[in-house]
Amino acid sequence: MTDRPLTLMAVHAHPDDEATGTGGVLARYAAEGIRTVLVTCTDGGCGDGPGGVKPGDPGHDPAAVALMRRQELEASCDVLKVSDLEMLDYADSGMTGWPSNDAPGSFWQTPVEEGAARLAELMRHYRPDVVVTYDENGFYGHPDHIQAHRITMAALEMTALTPKVYWTTMPRSMMQRFGETVREFQEDMPEPDPAEAAAMAEIGLPDDEITTWVDTTAFSGQKFDALAAHASQGENIFFLKMGKERFGEWMGIETFVRVKDATGAAVPENDLFAGLR
């Protein structure tokens, strides 16, 4: 037996990612007395600047954006009652195909072994019982999400720890309905071209391949408020357009696929800590 608290570690790419995919579980498990550790890999400097100014446009200052986004991230963590925030502070690589992908010092250009070694040090310090990150495609192909996946899985190999490991996902049935909801709130949104539609159809997993469905309905308000804390990026956060009530209807379940487990807990499961308590 040990007095060490059960610990969840979520490894995300940018400020605001913590709220989108795992805001519910971070808030729920914090309320249950579990230690929640958030590792944010990049500084978010490729986000929108004040007034919505875009990266590469006159007046966009990545260093100033990064500082603003750190403050927003800290506010989000306060809302979600995150126990410990760790920032690796790599430069944001931007979206696929942006020149910032190739910038020296960007997360995408960082050797996996280097990032993994830093993350492994944090894992040895916090000794997480559960680790959550993205799948091999970073859920939707973002370079920094892919890199976060790579360093997380490599870091786990560098340690002697055996946490349960999960990748965030969404059921395909929900993705289909999500597309319909987006068009409901953005009536002037053009129909996606066939290639884009086909790519969207591959995001997430068939419902029967999802191992873990966690009910976070009681914490959907906190999740919404955590997203709203990232006010500078509000233009890019579609979910905020729903309003809190509709958001709660949509975002009351967070889903994962379990990829490493030493507990033998049966799946499907409704608790990331099944078999650990």
Q: How far apart are CA 47 and CA 45, in angstroms?
A: 5
Q: Where are the domains of the chain?
A: 7-170+207-260, 173-204
Residue 52 is which amino acid? G
Q: pLDDT at position 1, please? A: 44
Return the CATH class of domain 7-170+207-260: alpha beta
CA 40 to chain centre: 9
Q: pLDDT at position 201, please? A: 60
The number of beta carbons lying within 10 Å of the beta carbon of residue 196 is: 10
pTM of this prediction? 0.91
197: Cβ contacts below 8 Å, ≥ 6 apart: none
Q: pLDDT at position 99, please? A: 92
pLDDT tens sequence across 50-95: 888 999 899 999 999 999 999 999 999 999 999 999 999 999 999 9
- Residue ranges for the chain with pLDDT beneath 70: 1-2, 175-202
Q: How far apart are CA 2 and CA 24, in angstroms?
A: 27
Locate all alpha helices (DSSP H) within the chain, ordered by sequence.
17-31, 62-80, 112-126, 143-158, 172-185, 194-201, 220-228, 244-250
Is residue 258 within 8 Å of residue 166, measured between CB atoms?
Answer: yes
Q: How far apart are CA 200 and CA 76, in angstroms?
A: 28
CA atoms within 13 A on the CB side of 63: 0
β-pairing, 253-260 vs 164-169, is: antiparallel
DSSP string, 142-195: -HHHHHHHHHHHHHHHHSS---EEEEEE-BHHHHHHHHHHHHHH-TTPPPPPHH
